[in-house]
Amino acid sequence: MDDRQSSAARVNVTFKTPSGELREIRAAVGSTLMEAAVENEVEGIIGECGGSCACATCHVKLPKDWFERVGPPGDMEINTLYFRAHRQATSRLACQIVLSRELDGLHAEVATD
């Protein structure tokens, strides 16, 4: 078993979907939050551009404490988020969040736009 498949290399992530459902998934360390969501068919996360920060179909809103731990978006991400109607101060693009062990327990709300 390689490191990506072992339980030690996975973290728990919880999504609140647009339907209000809480989806807790196990995701590989080193994958992006978008990849984990798409792999687990989380409602509302499409990942249309494949993670190149161009489509915003992976828009999530983080609770303030998690936003501070994950960190702010970069310039390109800010530009992509700019026209999202439901953008908030804690918005991020899930494709730009690489999961690390430090992000075990991450919560993210799937945006509705």
The residue ranges that bind ligand FES (CB under 6 A) are 34, 47-49, 51, 53-58, 80, 93, 95
Strands of the 59-61 sheet, one edge to the other = 22-28, 10-16, 106-110, 59-61, 91-93
By C-beta, is 6 or 79 nearer to ligand FES? 79
Instruction: Compute the distance between CA of residue 16 and CA of residue 79 in angstroms, rounded to an integer.
Output: 24
CB of 88 to ligand FES, least distance (A): 16
- Report, in Å, the least distance between residue 56 CB and ligand FES: 5
Rounded (10°) CA dihedral 73, 75, 77, 79: 130
Residue with smaller CB distance to ligand FES, 25 or 55: 55
- Hey, is 81 helix, strand or coil? helix
| Nearer Cβ to ligand FES (28/54) | 54
